[in-house]
Amino acid sequence: MAVRYYTVTWDQLHRDAKALAWRLVEKGPWKGIVAITRGGLIPSAVIARELECRLIEAVSIVTYDEEERGQPQVVKPPAAALEDQGQGWLIVDDLVDTGTTAKVIRALLPKAHFATVYAKPAGKPQVDTFITEVSQDTWILFPWDTEPQFVAPIAKSHAAAG
């Protein structure tokens, strides 16, 4: 099965994170936001601004090494949110893929509300709110992982593969 790529620009990420904030404003107020590093940091900043939330905690879970999946490790827990199992807290990440990271976060903060900008089918059941669903075989290229360059038309790459 061929891997598909979905490129997200800075403008699109901002619009999608703001759309997520629109969905979350009615579910608050929030004690704070737990940003999942690294991918959740920028969406968390946008959402924090839109929800006027000043308390931002971070949780660092290492799962990926480039495109290789490994065993998740919590390298920095979200101390402030742990006190009441995340009750009243909003967890934000850029993407839920297989749900591996989400399950670790859910175990740490079972009462928190989990929101992601993008969701894949395998991980979707782990989140409470998301904006855009993409297929499981799609690799999302976030703006912090890419730079503008020429890409051949789809028809040329399709003809070469066929």
User: Which member of 11, 94, 137, 145 is catalytic?
Assistant: 94
Looking only at Cα atoms, what is the longest distance across the chain?
Answer: 57
The end-to-end CA distance of the chain, in Å, is 13
What residue ranges in 8-88 does DSSP mark as E strands? Answer: 32-37, 56-65, 68-76
User: Which member of 11, 16, 84, 93 is catalytic?
Assistant: 93
Q: How far apart are CA 69 and CA 30, in angstroms?
A: 32
Q: Any catalytic annotation for residue 11?
A: no
Sign (positive or negative) of CA dihedral 48, 52, 58, 61 = negative
User: Which member of 97, 128, 137, 145 is catalytic?
Assistant: 97
Alpha carbon dihedral 99, 86, 22, 74, in 10-degree steps, equals -40
Q: Any catalytic annotation for residue 94?
A: yes
Q: How far apart are CA 40 and CA 45, in angstroms?
A: 9
Q: Any catalytic annotation for residue 137?
A: no
> Which residues are the active-site residues?
93-94, 97
